A and B are shown apart, each in its own frame.
Chain A
């Protein structure tokens, strides 16, 4: 199976340095687990991040150099000849970061897409079986027709970084014809400012309730009421008693 991993600009949120986003590392891992040749695809000039992607197991990264809509450029590049599988991270890191690119690409190519993929299974009759990761450790099995686009779950197993691979990866710049320009994104852009989340009654800062030397029964009652109020016991209580 021929797999292609989409690589974004790759900026680390904390340092602003080039870095392969976690989801894209997971995507490389999924592609490798599917077997066969795995290449990387990036729209724009290659940077350190693309070379680092090689460290996670890509043998080759093609950087498509051309102006205009990245989706159109990718769609044109992927249509001849199409790979079996296109993988992406949950969302890009360093640009618009909307997570739209794989969806727009799937729409344009007319391929099916699944997001949150944790693992890739076998191929049977042109159908690929995958495991989808849901919140709280839940899992869902699914089958998808090839060729398809898969967005890796951030928690999908990541392959190790190997410097020897990173130094040997072939990063190739491919000049492609310009695509129609994307509409200008409106709005005012400025440095990010962390905003506090919504109002609550207690938080990691502490300063919570302290109950000194209560009777065990009283302590238990307060504890249970508190956990219930936090929503930690919820409806799963009955089920967990049976379990």
Chain B
């Protein structure tokens, strides 16, 4: 009888392994990734149990369900299989029965998840069969193990094995043809994750593209890296990404879950139907999939690609650690570099970046005009200074000029020695890179690195988190390595060292809006808050803050691409600030400033952290 159980479980396991190999063969049609995929397998248990669990556990109910269901199904099988094959005592069978029983409770929780009411972020379709299949597998095999443990006659065992086998076949079907391939793909994706740095620290920089490669970026599924393809299959459609996505919330034609599912389906000629929420308002793209068939405009709507603000909120929320933004940028690279198919506004910004080294097309010599009254020195090539102040694109904006003047005034008061690059400061290339124009990015980066290398300074300070991210995290791969600090970090340092003394100003409550490129991309969420606590009366938090903060809509070339929306992202964000009872929204990024200042009607005031600090500073 034990052999029968082992044959049933082993058969299902072997079939699953065969299914995994079929999937693997498909993923391997993608481009080879750097490093050994096989060697990565040794990391999988740790990545599953620590990193994945860390994200899953943000929702305890989901973590419980997952632990019970996946744990029970797997551990029961792992115990019953050798027990049946080698013959084992009743205790082992009892333990296996217990494990399957736990799995059964897990199946119940899986069922409860969508009954009586399914949360809108969850997909339906084949998922509705999952609790039944899980229950049949666990109950059938659990009873069989129990019967073995108590020494029951053959007939009940056979019936139980039949039930378990039916559940197993159901699970197999869901795995091989349906969404539960997540289980198999997840192992492969975690083994070959394209950002291994995430498991030891932070890894958010885009990788440089080899500009002489025949195919730049991604046009067809086979252009993705093989592990990335496994990553798309690893999506379990939990919908956490779409709940976090600002573009989705604003009604733009992007749903990160649908995007990943589309990319997964794009590999297949006859994919399983997607039963989650689609991208809002996007026409159905019913082109034929296949490894060598175009993705954009065929199975994926163009607007989905350009609506992304690259805010990484989806990546932050994804329990499978899928890299949505990498996929978006890879696709954008294909569209931009290979086809020139970008939105009009983005095309203008890219042309200006190419021809004027400034996405707004303005004269580089006019960047410093905003500081004209403050007489900030310009560092000539060969010169030396303490701090190099990188002004960024915001310097061309009159509103943001107030912020920069506040920062310079504070730096003066603290007695710092600093200078700017003057007309030698080109755009850092952030916009070009996020829009997929890696060629222009690398050209700008080379020029900026050259200008910086020609001067000596202790560190770079910038008020622009986008420039911060590019200079700090993305230039090293291109040969430029400096200490780069955000202005909130610098001011925090000055206040803590006592070089700036602040006196708390009373006034309306202040809510800090985290810039994505400072928070999620660089993990800096505390310094600005410390500053605000020292400078302002009451500080409140919006529901989404810190690493979970919502984007202002200004990143990733969003304003340049200007995708149709139902509401504007900054309007949504301002509404959240209002809901938190904020009288002032504190910002720390020129993009956020412009987007939030663009909200019309009565609303909380928008002030940069530097402005609020300047208002609170007292002579030391």
Q: Please determine if A and B sit in direct contact within the complex, based on CB atoms under 8 angstroms apart.
A: yes
Choose one: A12, A159, A162; the contact of B338 (CB below 8 Å): A162
What 0/1 readout, one digit per residue, does chain A (143-164) give for beta carbons within 8 Å of chain B? 0000000000000000111111
Q: A163-B336, A164-B216, A167-B211 in contact; A14/B361 too (CB < 8 A)?
A: yes
Q: What's the nearest-Cβ distance from chain B to residue A206, in Å?
A: 14
Does B357 lie within 8 Å of A163, measured CB to CB? no
- Is B340 a contact of A161 with CB atoms below 8 Å? yes
Shortest C-beta distance, A10 to chain B (Å), equals: 9
CB distance from A224 to the nearest CB of B (A): 30
B356 within 8 Å of A by Cβ? yes
Query: Which residue in B339, B356, B361 is a CB contact (below 8 Å) of A162?
Result: B339
Contact A14/B362 with A161-B351, A163-B437, A163-B439 known, Cβ cut-off 8 Å: yes
Interface residue range, chain B: 20 to 34
Q: Which of A15, A165, A166, A167 has most B Cβ within 10 Å?
A: A15
Chain A min CB distance to B47 (Å): 36
Q: How far is the CA of A19 from the CA of B440 in the complex (A)?
A: 13
CA–CA, A24 and B358, complex, Å: 21
State the Cβ distance, B183 to closest chain A Cβ, in Å: 39
Asked whether any CB of chain B lies closer than 8 Å to the CB of A52, the reply is: yes
- In the complex where A160-B342, A161-B340 touch, is A52 in contact with B354 (Cβ < 8 A)? yes
B350 CB-CB contact with A under 8 Å: yes
B526: Cβ under 8 A from any A Cβ = no
Residues of A in contact, count (CB < 8 Å): 17
A19 touches B355 (CB 8 A): yes
Say yes or no: is A77 at the interface (Cβ < 8 Å to chain B): no
- Residues of A within 8 Å of B340, CB to CB, are 55, 159-163, 165
Which residue of the partner chain A has the closest CB to B333? Answer: A163
Chain A: CB-nearest residue to B358? A15
B357 touches A15 (CB 8 A): yes
Q: For the complex, what is the distance from the CA of A12 to the CA of B363, rounded to whole Å?
A: 11
Chain A CB within 10 Å — which of B340, B342, B361 has the most?
A: B340
Residue B347 lies at the interface, judged by CB distance under 8 Å to chain A: yes
User: Which residues, 327 to 349 on B, are CB-close (under 8 Å) to A?
Assistant: 336-342, 347
Task: Assess the A15–B355 pair: CB atoms within 8 A.
Answer: yes
- A228 touches B (CB below 8 Å): no
User: In the bound complex, how far is the Cα of B363 from the Cα of A160, in angstroms?
Assistant: 24
Enumerate chain B residues within 8 angstroms of A164, measured Cβ to Cβ: 216, 337-339
If A160-B340, A163-B216 touch, whether A15 touches B363 (CB-CB below 8 Å) is yes
Q: For A226, list chain B residues within 8 Å (CB).
A: none
A17→B337 contact, CB < 8 A: no
> What's the least CB distance linking B356 to chain A, in Å?
4
Query: Cα distance A71–B354 when bound, in Å?
Result: 30
* B-chain residues with CB within 8 Å of residue A52 when the two chains form the complex: 354
8 Å CB interface, A137-192 against B: 159-167
State whether B355 touches A12 (Cβ < 8 A).
yes
The smallest beta-carbon distance between B137 and chain A, in angstroms, is 51
**The one of A15, A161, A165, A167 that contacts B356, using a Cβ cutoff of 8 Å:** A15
Of the candidates B338, B350, B356, which one forms a contact with A17 in the assembled complex, judged by CB atoms under 8 Å apart?
B356
Q: Is the CB of A17 within 8 A of B355?
A: yes
Please, what's the 1-or-0 string for B349-393, where 1 marks a CB less than 8 Å from any CB in chain A? Answer: 011001111100111100000000000000000000000000000
Contacts of B355 in A (CB 8 A): 12, 15, 17-19
Nearest A residue to B363 via CB reads A14
Interface centre among A12, A159, A160, A164 (most CB of B within 10 A): A164
In the bound complex, residues from chain B placing their C-beta under 8 Å from that of A14 are 356, 361-363
A165 to B339 Cα, complex, angstroms = 9
Other CB < 8 Å A-B pairs besides A15-B364, A160-B347, 13 of them? Answer: A14-B363, A15-B363, A18-B355, A19-B355, A160-B339, A160-B341, A161-B350, A163-B216, A163-B340, A163-B437, A163-B440, A164-B338, A164-B339
Top 6 A-B pairs ranked by shortest CB distance?
A: A160-B340, A162-B340, A19-B355, A15-B356, A163-B337, A163-B439
10 contacts between A and B (CB under 8 A): A14-B361, A15-B363, A17-B357, A19-B355, A160-B342, A161-B340, A163-B211, A163-B338, A163-B439, A167-B211
